[in-house]
Structure 1
Amino acid sequence: MRSRNLIRQLTKPVDDETLSSWLSRNATNPYVGSVHSVFLDSCQAMANASLEGDVDRLCEHQRFLSCFAERDQEVLANTFKLPDNLIEVGGSLNYCPQCLADDVASMHAPAWRKAWRVRGNCFCAAHDELVLFQRLSASGRGQFNRAWLAFSQHASTGKFIFGNHFIQRLISLPETATKEQSLCRIVLKVMRWIDSAPDYPTYGRPSKQCLIFVLGFFLYRPFARCKGGVGQWFLNSLRSSTELSSQPFRSPSVRELSEGIKDSTPRNIAVSYLFLGCAYKLLSEADIELINNALYFSNAPFPRQPCELRALACCFQPTRIFQFKQSASRNLYAGDIAHLDWLFG
């Protein structure tokens, strides 16, 4: 069933809208009487009791579904089903201000999207851009009214809070926007390849878990003041591997690598997607030429071959590769290790 058939007398969901956002918009609609602040409180209580406070997951909860007519319960569950590989609700604060602005221009309250909760997502497919993403302030950690808070935040600042443009605009160039759009399309190509990866490794392709491991390797920070892996420091003007020398190191868990993805800026995540595209030969010569031409503020050329990428990654932590190999052996399928030869040799 389609979302347009969802429960009469209630607000129609926006495409890809989260359950908490939809409930919030209904509660503020004067023509909807069945969803109100008391009902939202009860939803939050249900989520706190069994879903770690995640209201968006209530569509999986029979007690919540039973609040609606039986004919509507399946539609609710299907419409608001969450994608895989989610960021926990407290850390899911990135958003696309253009999506929210489009909502308001369409004469309805802004809506929070499910795609913004996918781990490692730095791209707004609706607008074909990376640079639209901002991060909501800590005051917006509650799920209800989050979209309005984000819209107000963007309206009051009128700029990208963390400077998450892909191409750093040190000087104004007329072709910058065009190059940025082209780079974002390359990022999207790699993201779609990862999304289509199998759950288990095959002869020709690594598993999705393996690819997330590699992405985490690029973005991993062994300690707080460290610039992180090659995906973190490639675009920085000051690079140093000596920060690691006096610090204790242990092989990271998959969870720790995933945390590195969650805590990284969209810009660094996007660069890491490009590195992953290089590692698995997804980039054409034209793609690499564009990347090297567009990232003019980088101090090193973008690698053309996986061996060059390995050399670049080893510059950050040349003595730590063995620990990462140990972590891969413990946490990945045996078939995935063969797909990491470009890194571990």
Structure 2
Amino acid sequence: MPGDGPLVLVHGGAWDIPLDETDAHLEGMERALRVGRRAVEHGLDAVHTVVEVVAALEDHPAFDAGRGAVLDRDGLPQLDAGIMDGPSLRWGAVANVRRLKNPVRTAHALLGADGLARLMVAEGAERFAAERGHASVPPSALIVPRETDRYARLAEHATFHTSAAFAGAMDVPRGTVGCVVRDAEGRLAAATSTGGAPFTRPGRVGDSPIPGAGFFADGFGAASATGWGEAILTTQLCARAVGSVERGAIEAAREALVDLDRRVRWPGTARATGGLLLAAADGTAAWAFSTPRMARGWWRPGEALGMGLDAPATRRRDAGA
């Protein structure tokens, strides 16, 4: 994806995305892109733009993030989010929170805080959020009927392994959300937010709040990942992609996913699949995925909003709409 100037890339997870959920995913992509476009047009820098875009995705019930997140084995949501500012290498993240409406906003607050903590978890993260005036909601406010129904189905499978969800073995969502932005000054930022893996053990933390794994940004590139968290943590997917971005964004993104599949071969687990957004400092960008579909969207000034689910297919909205 060639070009220079500002760029907004978003994703809503890499998985099968059944037909009855495609419209909601595309609508969510479009809504997030409009938020990103407005932020860029109002002069927000890259890191503030990714916050606004990911918060919009957390608010949309189609995705496994914020409202609409999958449920753990206790039938409750547990949310993770992380954000990184490329120019400064500062980052912030929260994990295992159940009461935050927008975990990415609290992660952003940690990025700009005193540096005593970059990653906070559970009740400690929620107390920090309350001190910053961030919206707190009961866990029930984050649960949607779609996920209570899926939880009931998964609860019938005592041997269900979460890796199976990321290989398309069952009808379960893997709609982690993320965004990478290059602003008008060439600054890069990335953020990722998730409800984690379906029917996982309470307390489990995946890749999304870990820099280098679920998100990463520096002066050369920015990346956001989605997929099987334990595998992505193992290969440090986003850091690997950004580290190779000078060879070309498309090649770097694809090779990072090939490496994920090739290296992570654990007994009793499914293939290591996932998806990745990658933007380079020169304004080029790419996405890659090893799943049947990946919800994604993109926008540059003067261009239409672009959205896609399948490998070649895209949908566009008028740039002035």
Which structure shows the bigger proportion of residues in strand conformation?
2
TM-score range relative to shorter protein: under 0.3
Larger Rg: 1
User: Which has the bigger relative contact order, CA under 8 A and spacing at least 6?
Assistant: 2
TM-score scaled to structure 2, two decimals? Answer: 0.25
TM-score scaled to structure 1, two decimals? Answer: 0.24
